[in-house]
């Protein structure tokens, strides 16, 4: 089968498409999935270049990618037909999901073995042409749930600032923050993405044509915001601290973010931790099915353009999700 792997940390050029990779054998509690599409995320290039904490114990050579959509084609010895049926994962079922944080294997391969607990069925009425969106749903969706539900503690009537409102996570943070009860949501993004941010229910702040700090002050009459959800961090974390109203709090999404500048000022600052689980995947499925989470796929690329895809991820201006086509 075909599989993308890398044998050393480095630039996107270390990624290689192998055409003779062995088909994996599923462990007793794993499902065998023929992958149709794999979602791409900034975490992928951070693991590939070695800068992510998840690269520390990674055994090389390694695969790439964390999330996917595909079809169940088999299962391990602990998962008989009855057990698969109770989970909605019988052979032939289309599924989506992502590897748990402790599972370092990639998903950019034509066939993968993955824990049954890390998968959920795709509703039958979803057309195959919509599968790329489901392939890109799990990581950003679970990140958004962890940010809004587990970490930010958003209350009714609060004002929230989201950095990166048009990105993959941002496009789910906006509707989830509104669901949580926020009255006003401000979201930074490029001017080209302002209309998309507005469609999602937030007030766009075009950081490439305006001073976003001044705009936040203007839109809040100088009060600032109650919560900042910062998907960017590097250029936005420190100036965001001055945009918080009294008692405000900030959530930085990069797992290696340094929160000390906020904590030294007595500002509540936290980093979300993804919690995997079927219940959360099902929540995402219900939300996207009902149109509440209109995640956007900006481009679908073939496997042999994986290096180009990683270059785009590193640039940090992707609107919605980039997705890799694995098998048609």
Domain span at residue 101 reads 3-137+295-325
Residue 246 pLDDT level (bands cut at 50, 70, 90): very high
Q: Model confidence over 103-141: pLDDT tens digits?
A: 999 999 999 999 999 999 999 999 999 999 999 999 999
Residue 314: the pLDDT is: 85
- What integer is the mean pLDDT of 184-201? 96
- Report the pLDDT value the prediction gives residue 256, as an integer from 0 to 100: 86
What angle (nearest 5°) sits at the alpha carbon of residue 123, between those of residues 119 and 124?
125
Number of Cα atoms under 13 Å in the Cβ half of residue 68:
32
Among 242, 232, 296, residue whose Cα is nearest residue 265: 242
Domain-located, residue 275: no
User: Does residue 284 sit within a domain?
Assistant: no
**Distance of alpha carbon 270 from alpha carbon 263, whole angstroms:** 9
Supply the pLDDT for residue 328: 63
Please indicate, yes or no, whether residues 66 and 121 belong to a single structural domain of this protein: yes
Write the pLDDT tens digit of every residue in 203-218.
999 999 999 999 999 9
Same domain, 183 and 129: no
CATH number at residue 47: 3.90.180.10
Are 148 and 236 in a shared domain?
Answer: yes
Shared domain for 22 and 116, answered yes or no, is yes
| Mean predicted confidence (pLDDT) in 155-162 | 97
Q: How do residues 28-66 score in pLDDT, each as one tens digit?
A: 999 999 999 999 998 999 999 998 888 888 999 999 999
**pLDDT at position 316:** 75
Q: Where is the domain boundary, 270, 285, 310?
A: 270
Mean pLDDT, rounded, for 230-243: 95
Q: Are both 155 and 257 inside the same structural domain?
A: yes
Is residue 20 included in any domain, yes or no? Answer: yes
Q: What is the pLDDT of residue 56?
A: 86
Cα–Cα distance for residue pair 92/34, rounded to 1 Å: 10
For residues 192 and 230, membership in a common domain is answered with yes
Q: Are residues 18 and 103 in the same domain?
A: yes
Is there a cis peptide before residue 61, judged by omega within 30 degrees of 0?
yes
Query: Quick check: 224 pLDDT over 70?
Result: yes
Average pLDDT across the chain, whole number:
95
């Amino acid at each position: 089968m075909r599989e993308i792997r890398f044998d050393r940390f480095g630039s996107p050029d270390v990624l290689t498409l192998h055409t003779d990779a062995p088909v994996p054998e599923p462990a007793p509690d794993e499902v065998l999935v023929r992958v149709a599409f794999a979602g791409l995320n900034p975490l992928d290039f951070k693991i590939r270049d070695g800068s992510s904490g998840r690269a520390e114990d990674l055994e090389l050579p390694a695969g790439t990618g964390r999330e996917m959509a595909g079809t169940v084609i088999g299962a391990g010895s602990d998962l008989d037909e009855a057990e698969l049926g109770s989970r909605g994962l019988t052979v032939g079922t289309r599924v989506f999901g992502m590897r748990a944080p402790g599972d370092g294997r990639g998903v950019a391969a034509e066939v993968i073995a993955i824990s049954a607990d890390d998968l959920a069925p795709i509703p039958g009425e979803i057309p195959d042409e919509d599968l790329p969106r489901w392939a890109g749903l799990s990581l950003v969706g679970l990140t958004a749930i962890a940010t809004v539900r587990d970490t930010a503690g958003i209350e009714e009537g609060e004002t929230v600032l989201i950095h990166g409102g048009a990105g993959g996570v941002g496009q789910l943070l906006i509707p989830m923050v509104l669901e949580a009860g926020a009255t006003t949501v401000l979201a930074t993004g490029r001017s080209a993405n302002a209309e998309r941010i507005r469609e999602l229910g937030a007030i766009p702040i075009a950081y490439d044509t305006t001073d976003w700090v001044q705009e936040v002050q203007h839109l809040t009459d100088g009060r600032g915001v109650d919560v900042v959800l910062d998907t960017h961090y590097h250029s936005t974390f420190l100036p965001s601290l001055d945009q918080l109203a009294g008692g405000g709090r900030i959530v930085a999404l990069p797992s290696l973010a340094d929160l000390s500048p906020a904590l030294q000022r007595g500002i509540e600052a936290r980093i979300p931790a993804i919690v995997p689980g079927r219940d959360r995947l099902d929540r995402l499925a219900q939300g996207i099915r009902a149109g509440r989470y209109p995640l956007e796929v900006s481009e679908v690329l073939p496997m042999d353009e994986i290096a180009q895809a990683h270059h785009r991820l590193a640039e940090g201006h992707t609107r919605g999700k980039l997705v890799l086509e694995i098998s048609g």
